Amino acid sequence: MQGQPAPYAAHIWVCVNERADGSKACGNGLGMTLKDLLKAGVAQRGWKGRVRVSHSGCMGLCARGPNVMIHPAGRWFSNVTPADVPAILDEVGTFL
């Protein structure tokens, strides 16, 4: 194993977990849409290579989903909608 510093100034994690039984899960609604919008916003702001957008499985707060988390800032956003994407990116910008 080789430990190293995080390669990104910020890493945005978007839960896209889905549940076939219809119970609340971030991915059942907007998870991948949010990921795509955040990725597009990162590219638009010229942050490619410095800010990474990835999707995750369940992050444990399903009832509040869709959930988005920014590492290493420790910021968490719940009940996220596409309209929230610019505000999330504005906050990411304060970490860069």
Cβ closer to ligand FES: 25 or 51? Answer: 25
Q: Which amino acid, residue 56?
A: S
Strands 10-15 and 51-56: parallel
Contact flag: residue 67 with ligand FES (CB under 6 A): yes
Binding-site member from 43, 61, 87, 96 for ligand FES (CB under 6 A):
61
| Strands annotated E in 1-96 | 10-15, 51-56, 68-71, 75-77
**Looking at beta carbons only, is 51 or 59 nearer to ligand FES?**
59
Give the footprint of ligand FES on this chain (CB under 6 A): 15, 17, 25-26, 58-62, 65, 67
